[in-house]
A and B are shown apart, each in its own frame.
Chain A
Amino acid sequence: MKYETVIGLEVHCQLKTKTKIFCSCSTEFGKNPNENTCPICLGMPGVLPVLNRQVVNFAVRAGLATHCRIEPMNQFARKNYFYPDLPKGYQVSQFDHPLATGGYVNILIDGEKKKINLTRIHMEEDAGKLVHGENMGNPESSYVDFNRTGVPLIEIVSEPDLRSSEEARAYMVELKSILEYADVSDCNMEQGSLRCDANVSLRPFGQEEFGTRTELKNINSFKFVQKAIDYEVERQTSLLEQGDKVILETRLYDSNRGVTYSMRSKEEAHDYRYFPEPDLVPIVLDEACVEEIAKTLPELPEPKRERFTAEYGIPAYDAQVLTATRPLADFYEETVKLHNHPKAVSNWMMGDLLRELKNDDQEIQDCKLTPQRLAGMLDLIEAGTINGKIAKTVFEEMYNTGAEPETVVKEKGLGQIADEASIEKLVDQILEDNPQQTADYRNGKEKLMGYFVGQLMKASKGQANPALANKLLKQKLGSGS
């Protein structure tokens, strides 16, 4: 039997506030264990939380950027469970009054737009981190680092609208892009500021009701989203084909072995005993307040993509690549403003620039190339000062050193030779060095022209103006002697 994959994702995104959600501790990553803590985030007896309003602001931005309805009445709730990284024995989260509901994210699958609906977005605090003793202290002991405790998160819950691991990946990519555009998170997946749990189930094609799902926990890269789901789909398929049943359970993805394994079954599932957090007053978000925040949102990836294809006439694929991040899109637009050949700019950015950035693992805003320099180089090509091949050298030099294109051309002597006398001299020399070929050409073997052009380019280190070179070669070869 053929099975259809059904996936819903729960994405946790760390908001980029300077301080934690309920106290004034720093959220900076990479500090010494327990350096970013205080009695409040450590859950000492008697402490109370005070909400960081910037968290609400960011969360509203995320909600608006994903077309959600922002709920006017917001309430926090306590999610109760015991774990050593959870100092209060409950996590302050949201339950029946989440921040945002409805909403959707459009993804592109094989050039087709697909709408992925969102159930909700809610705010919550992150837990701490357990460090087991193998690498420090007593190998028999576990240690707790509470630096991450109380770092603000939003959880974005999708409907089970995804039908393949590719769609799940595309959704994550698009969501990351949206959150970065909305400027609410640095979405650094390696540091865990964007991670997801995936609910995966199978059902026979055509069947309406969902199959039994498993929840895959703690996936922190685009690659792993796809791999974890692929593994799980394969596992569930073979279970079903053998006539076995899928068990409702939570599974962890082990990225080293590329497998998922059972963490706890439904029988062991937590009863979180949610109830309204009595230490925090409800947050009322009236329309005017939401309106104010909406005004500060920038153009988002999808409308920008559509504008790029319409305004610049570039292919949809180019538009998607160029709008992946806001700095990349801004770079493109600024370059086009200075050198109005959108496709040429796109080609250079999607080819050479993105390749270099990827090789160096660098972000565009951190590299030495500027829109002015790239546009300047394209101007030089257009003016015939350099050809496309030389431009590669110029580009590399600009990218590595931050030099101006004109300077590179001048200092490396890369400008085209466009004066007739110099080229004529080279042509004469080539004809003299190749008497046989010259004779053959003159006897009608005209396809030898390519050979002569090659020789001339070699002799001029690629700098001979191609049009002039052609003209003079034809002239000299044709004239006989």
Chain B
Amino acid sequence: MADPTNAPTLLQAREDLKNKKYSALELTESCLRRMDAVEDRVQAYLHISREQAIEQAKAADERIARGDDAPLLGVPLAIKDNICTQGLPSTCASKILGQFKSPYNATSVDRALKAGAVILGKTNLDEFAMGSTTENSGIHPTRNPWDLERVPGGSSGGSAAAVAAKECVAALGSDTGGSIRQPASFCGVTGLKPTYGRVSRFGLVAFASSLDQIGPMTQTVDDAAVLMNVIGGKDPLDSTSADVPMPDFTQALNRNVKGMKVGIPREYFTEGIDPEVETAVQNAIKTLQSLGMETVEVSLPHTKYAVATYYILACAEASANLSRYDGVKYGHRTEHAGNLMEMYENSREEGFGEEVKRRIILGTFVLSSGYYDAYYLKGQKARTLIKRDFEEAFKQCDVLAGPNCPLPAFKLNEKLDDPMQMYLADIYTISMNLAGIPAMSVPCGQTQGKLPVGLQLMAPHFQEETLFTVGKQFQLATDFHKQFPTL
């Protein structure tokens, strides 16, 4: 049997496992060896579940021997650490959760395990998914495998880096304002934020409940489609998961794009965008044209309100979502408290990082009596306008295309002290969360400094199929997704 020295794609792995080219155990062990080789430099993981992964791989081999053909059977996955996994730590990279172990599996994890997946470990993130660099991790930062002096993006930086460094076959991330797409773009992998309601949020530790979505982070669009087939669909445990038909997403991969209209949002190519990023994205649009797609310029006029709207609404929800970390039931409790109020204050003061505190305070403020109408309510109205922008744009096109982030991967510490500048870099990704529409990042080029750039594709609600079609055809015409960093 051959040894899978370099993590194959999900599709490749499934084919090889089926053909007994190697076993699930060998595949898992090769991923673990890869971690041993690169993890001290990349630091994508917070917890590596070596023993459990080997047990799961052995079980997968038994299922394979019985002729089982489950879609993820024997496939080693990395899971972002804000997605609950029974028996493993689920800490959101926060000191306040300490070594908290969830008593249950998130629905998406449960579905992946039933489909035969092997869980390698939990990946790093900005604490509670709040950030764009993974530097806000309460444990340690993760490095970009393409340039170890740079950030992998965030908040799903650990998952993106693990896929790019081939420390897993594929990963799950979460996206509240770009947290899958931006790190996918920075690390040169494929990332999908599904439609809000497409994937169950049960077991995803809430940051902003009305914006959070779990999604796949993979080497290819094909792999993302396979993962989506497994994790998508209505969940009785999540009232906000949508009861809409679940297509077989792999069926969409090989559809023709000829004659499809791609909208180019005018507001996504204004000043502030890095020229190299702009060039890569413009070249990608030319590739789409060469595939027979028509381009049409569209406008998303309320884009300029997106950052403010997002930080009001997301922080408001976060301020309530993070109240449960109070030192009473689990996680960190201060040793310095003479009374109840001190226990609350000191536990939270010691447990939360700066960015999380900033957002809790912001969210508490905008919900306070006297300010609610001016901020939260106005934010909801702006959200409706942003949603309408997309509805209008999609009257003229099937899919939208643009950049994910105005810049390529930042240097470590470059933006840490300037939250405003950091928030503004989210400009191209947060509107989709506010609107609830699906969006995907696919690698579309590199800067002269060998930093990956991603193309963002956006589709109307529940039309992930369009993204799979366009993304796959793009990857057939390009080979950016086949490039990996040397480590």
Contact = CB atoms under 8 A, between A and B. Distances in A.
A466 interface: no
B326 interface: yes
A442 B210 CA distance: 103
B320 A90 contact: yes
Contact of A44 (B103, B323, B368): B103
Interface residues of B, number: 44
B310 interface: no
B103 A278 contact: no
B104 A39 contact: yes
A48 B203 CA distance: 8
Interface in B74-110: 82-84, 90, 92, 97, 100, 102-104, 106
Contacts of A89: 320, 322-324, 326
Contacts of A84: 326, 328, 340
B324 A278 contact: no
A49 B367 CA distance: 22
Nearest to A279: B209
Contacts of B83: 46
A113 to B, nearest CB: 39
Contact of B323 (A46, A80, A278, A279): A80
Contact of A46 (B204, B326, B376): B204
Contacts of B66: none
A273 B206 contact: no
Residue in B202, B209, B323, B344 with the greatest tally of chain A CB atoms within 10 Å = B323
Nearest to B236: A50
Contacts of A50: 236-239
Contacts of A51: 239
A90 B367 CA distance: 13
Residue in B97, B236, B328, B330 with the greatest tally of chain A CB atoms within 10 Å = B328
B318 to A, nearest CB: 11
A343 B264 CA distance: 86
B152 to A, nearest CB: 24
A82 interface: yes
Interface string A206-245: 0000000000000000000000000000000000000000
Given A82-B323, A280-B239, A45 B367 contact: no
Given A84-B328, A281-B240, A45 B100 contact: yes
A323 B74 CA distance: 69
Given A46-B204, A46-B206, A281-B240, A275 B102 contact: no
A90 B316 CA distance: 13
Contact of A82 (B84, B97, B326, B330): B326
A82 B328 CA distance: 11
B317 interface: yes
A280 B82 CA distance: 21
Given A46-B102, A82-B323, A278 B317 contact: yes
B320 A45 contact: no
B336 interface: no
Nearest to A81: B323
Contact of A271 (B103, B240, B320, B369): B369
B103 A39 contact: yes
A275 B372 contact: yes
Given A87-B329, A271-B369, A278-B317, A45 B376 contact: no
Interface string A120-149: 000000000000000000000000100000
Given A46-B90, A49-B239, A78 B329 contact: no
A42 interface: yes
B383 to A, nearest CB: 12
A80 B329 CA distance: 18
A279 B317 CA distance: 10
Contacts of A305: none
A384 interface: no
Given A273-B364, A275-B372, A48 B239 contact: yes
Contact of B102 (A44, A90, A144, A278): A44
A88 interface: yes
Interface string A63-86: 000000000000000101010100
A42 B328 CA distance: 11
A43 interface: yes
B202 A271 contact: no
B201 interface: yes
B202 A43 contact: no
Nearest to B241: A48
B210 A278 contact: yes
A90 B209 CA distance: 14
B246 to A, nearest CB: 19
A45 B92 contact: yes
B425 interface: no
Given A89-B326, A275-B376, A279-B209, A80 B237 contact: no
Interface string B206-235: 101110000000000000000000000000
Interface string B299-331: 000000000000000001101101110101110
B454 to A, nearest CB: 28
A315 B28 CA distance: 85
B32 interface: no
Contacts of B239: 48-51, 279-281
A47 interface: yes
Interface string A271-287: 10111001111000000
Contacts of A82: 323, 326, 344
B238 to A, nearest CB: 5
B17 interface: no
Nearest to B206: A46
A279 B237 CA distance: 11
Residue in A39, A46, A84 with the greatest tally of chain B CB atoms within 10 Å = A46
B205 interface: yes
A51 to B, nearest CB: 7
A80 B97 contact: no
A281 B210 CA distance: 11
A47 B202 CA distance: 6
Residue in B92, B204, B237 with the greatest tally of chain A CB atoms within 10 Å = B237
A87 B90 contact: no
Contacts of A43: 324, 329
B396 to A, nearest CB: 31
Interface in B318-374: 319-320, 322-324, 326, 328-330, 340, 344, 364, 367-369, 372
Residue in A49, A51, A144, A273 with the greatest tally of chain B CB atoms within 10 Å = A273
A144 B328 contact: yes
B320 A46 contact: no
Interface string B184-206: 00000000000000000111111
Given A82-B344, A84-B328, A89-B324, A46 B202 contact: yes
B97 A275 contact: no
A135 to B, nearest CB: 19
A48 B82 CA distance: 14
A266 to B, nearest CB: 12
Residue in B83, B204, B367 with the greatest tally of chain A CB atoms within 10 Å = B367
Contacts of B209: 278-279
A48 B103 contact: no
A80 B97 CA distance: 21
B324 A46 contact: no
User: Which 8 residue pairs spanning A and B have beta carbons closest together?
Assistant: A89-B323, A273-B367, A278-B209, A278-B210, A45-B205, A46-B203, A46-B84, A46-B205
26 contacts: A39-B103, A42-B329, A43-B324, A44-B103, A45-B90, A45-B97, A46-B102, A46-B203, A48-B201, A50-B236, A50-B238, A80-B319, A82-B326, A84-B326, A84-B328, A88-B323, A271-B369, A273-B364, A273-B367, A275-B367, A278-B208, A278-B317, A279-B206, A279-B240, A280-B239, A281-B240
Given A44-B104, A45-B324, A80-B320, 5 more contacts: A80-B319, A89-B322, A89-B323, A279-B239, A280-B239
Interface of A: 39, 42-51, 78, 80, 82, 84, 87-90, 144, 271, 273-275, 278-281
